[in-house]
Amino acid sequence: MKIGRNDPCWCGSGKKYKSCHLAFDDKLESLKNRGMVIPTRKMIKTPEQIEGIREASKVNTDVLDFITPFVVEGVSTGELDRRIYEYTKSIDAIPACLGYMGYPKSVCISINDVVCHGIPSDDTILKDGDIVNIDCTTKYKGYYGDSSRMFMIGDVDPVWQKLVTDTKQALDIGVEVCKEPWVTIGDIGYAINTFATKQGYQVVREIGGHGVGLEIHEDPYVSHVGRPGTDCVLAPGMVFTIEPMINLGTHEVYQDADDGWTIYTDDGQPSAQWEYTLVMTDHGVEILAH
Ligand SMILES: [Zn+2]
């Protein structure tokens, strides 16, 4: 459907189309004509929505900061989950994982060979030498922020330590790719996978990043293994996560058949993950939740 130059813009800003998203649409049209995959309008957030997601992301970052001093040897992941639940409620926010597609807890806590979606439990105690990912999504005033961090407990094997710090570097490399708009998701995946492979690691394929902000999971899917110039173009206004899961051994993973959530490495070797929520702007990506 064609919008007139003086009609209100489709984005809901209230501005005239010609002074809002007309040039943007022309840019996308030209990219499409060159064979690129372009985002749908649903993937483009308004400035008002981005402000809401920014606030939710600040709250999510705050929750991870809050839990950090409690992530120590001897604590159960069930206790960490309860602390996150109580704290999140106390600041008028909602732990978004709780009840999502039947998920039973407020946060995912994944230890060693658990790649992601580890379910907190009073029976799971952090011990010396563990590497731990805490992945938190918070809903605040209707918007979502999503990020995860690694924690190292006590005396961690140097090879595992390097996996943790290299995985953080892989995330930073993905962010660096997005220093200007109109790069593609394939560019991100290519950069991350190239770096990880050089270090001798393998990158998980089945699970990746995603659009986020108005829902907990939105399109597009953000693969951490890609080819340059392929997959969706990242246009200003898109909000998404980069969250590489990098394995010391094989990239192959499997899901726990009993709980239906926990993802393990096939070979029992450790996996690390870091995640940001990001917004693409006219001047490149900005980190919202970390
Ligand atoms: Zn507009």
- The confidence band for 1, taking pLDDT boundaries of 50, 70 and 90, is low
Residues with CB under 5 A from ligand 1 (ion): 9, 11, 13, 20-21
Instruction: Calculate how far, in angstroms, residue 21's C-alpha sits from the geometric centre of ligand 1.
Output: 4
% of the chain with per-residue pLDDT over 70: 100
Q: Is the pLDDT of residue 61 over 90?
A: yes
Instruction: Calculate how far, in angstroms, residue 290's C-alpha sits from the geometric centre of ligand 1.
Output: 28
Predicted local confidence at residue 13, as pLDDT: 85
In sequence order, the 6+-apart residues with CB closer than 8 A to the CB of 129 are 153, 154, 155, 156, 157, 160
- Average confidence (pLDDT) over 246-258: 98
% of the chain with per-residue pLDDT over 90: 98
Instruction: Calculate how far, in angstroms, residue 182's C-alpha sits from the geometric centre of ligand 1.
Output: 17
The CA distance from 61 to 174, in Å, is 19
Number of H helices, E strands in the chain: 5, 15
Instruction: Calculate how far, in angstroms, residue 15's C-alpha sits from the geometric centre of ligand 1.
Output: 7
- The confidence band for 12, taking pLDDT boundaries of 50, 70 and 90, is confident
- Average confidence (pLDDT) over 131-155: 98
Predicted local confidence at residue 2, as pLDDT: 77
Handedness of CA 40, 213, 177, 284 (dihedral sign): positive
List, for residues 13-43, the tens digit of each pLDDT value.
889 999 999 999 999 999 999 999 999 999 9
Instruction: Calculate how far, in angstroms, residue 53's C-alpha sits from the geometric centre of ligand 1.
Output: 18
Q: Is the pLDDT of residue 272 over 90?
A: yes
List, for residues 219-249, the tens digit of each pLDDT value.
999 999 999 999 999 999 999 999 999 999 9
Predicted local confidence at residue 202, as pLDDT: 98
Q: How high is the mean pLDDT of the chain? A: 97
Instruction: Calculate how far, in angstroms, residue 28's C-alpha sits from the geometric centre of ligand 1.
Output: 14
- The region of weakest confidence among 7-11, 126-130, 188-192 is 7-11
Instruction: Calculate how far, in angstroms, residue 17's C-alpha sits from the geometric centre of ligand 1.
Output: 6
List, for residues 193-210, the tens digit of each pLDDT value.
999 999 999 999 999 999
- Average confidence (pLDDT) over 126-155: 98
Instruction: Calculate how far, in angstroms, residue 238's C-alpha sits from the geometric centre of ligand 1.
Output: 13
Predicted local confidence at residue 154, as pLDDT: 97
List, for residues 78-100, the tens digit of each pLDDT value.
999 999 999 999 999 999 999 99
Predicted local confidence at residue 206, as pLDDT: 96
Instruction: Calculate how far, in angstroms, residue 220's C-alpha sits from the geometric centre of ligand 1.
Output: 20
Nearest to 196 by CA among 251, 120, 117, 253: 251
The CA distance from 140 to 263, in Å, is 28
Strand partners, 218: 211
Instruction: Calculate how far, in angstroms, residue 38's C-alpha sits from the geometric centre of ligand 1.
Output: 16
Say whether pTM exceeds 0.85: yes
Instruction: Calculate how far, in angstroms, residue 118's C-alpha sits from the geometric centre of ligand 1.
Output: 40
The CA distance from 35 to 28, in Å, is 11
